[in-house]
């Protein structure tokens, strides 16, 4: 399900451009527009779910797909130290209400000599 008022739904449907990293049938990963670490990539379900709790409760198959894609990218792009985190709710810092994981790392693989 796609919500036309949701920016991440519009990225998922390729209506708005993002700097894409990888995708599966169910999930999409793209670089965060305002990176806070050397690696800062977002991974989202292509269907609209307001946050990770709703995705977990309502669509476990999509949750597993998202976690697998997020983990695969984190392992590929970093030396193995990374975070995969989900702000859930306004008070926890969530600003975009379409579930998304932040893949962040201070140790990109390609910066190691």
Catalytic residue list: 100
Tokens of 40: 């800062």
Among 9, 18, 44, 55, binds ligand AMP (CB under 6 A): 18
Find which of ligand AMP, Zn ion, none residue 107 binds, CB within 5 to 8 Å per kind: none
x/- map, 49-88, Zn ion, by CB under 5 A: ----------------------------------------
Find which of Zn ion, ligand AMP, none residue 84 binds, CB within 5 to 8 Å per kind: none
Least distance from ligand AMP to the Cβ atom of residue 16, Å: 6
* Residue 67: count of CB within 10 angstroms of its CB: 15
Cβ contact 112:79 at 8 Å:
yes
Binding of ligand AMP at residue 84 (CB under 6 A)? no
Strand order in the sheet with 83-85: 20-23, 27-31, 39-45, 101-105, 83-85
Beta strands 83-85 and 101-105 are antiparallel
Tokens of 111: 């910066």
Find which of ligand AMP, Zn ion, none residue 7 binds, CB within 5 to 8 Å per kind: ligand AMP
Site for Zn ion in 85-104 (CB under 5 A): 98
Closest-CA residue to 37 (of 91, 89, 84, 93): 84
């Amino acid at each position: 399900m796609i919500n036309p008022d949701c920016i991440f739904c519009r990225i998922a449907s390729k209506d708005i451009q993002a700097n894409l990293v990888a995708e599966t049938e169910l999930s999409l990963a793209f670089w965060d527009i305002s990176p806070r670490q050397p690696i800062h990539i977002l991974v989202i379900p292509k269907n609209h779910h307001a946050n990770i709790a709703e995705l977990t409760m309502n669509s476990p198959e999509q949750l597993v797909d998202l976690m697998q894609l997020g983990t695969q990218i984190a392992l590929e792009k970093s030396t193995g130290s990374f975070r995969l985190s989900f702000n859930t709710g306004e008070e926890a810092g969530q600003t975009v209400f379409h579930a998304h994981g932040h893949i962040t790392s201070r140790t990109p693989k390609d910066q190691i000599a």
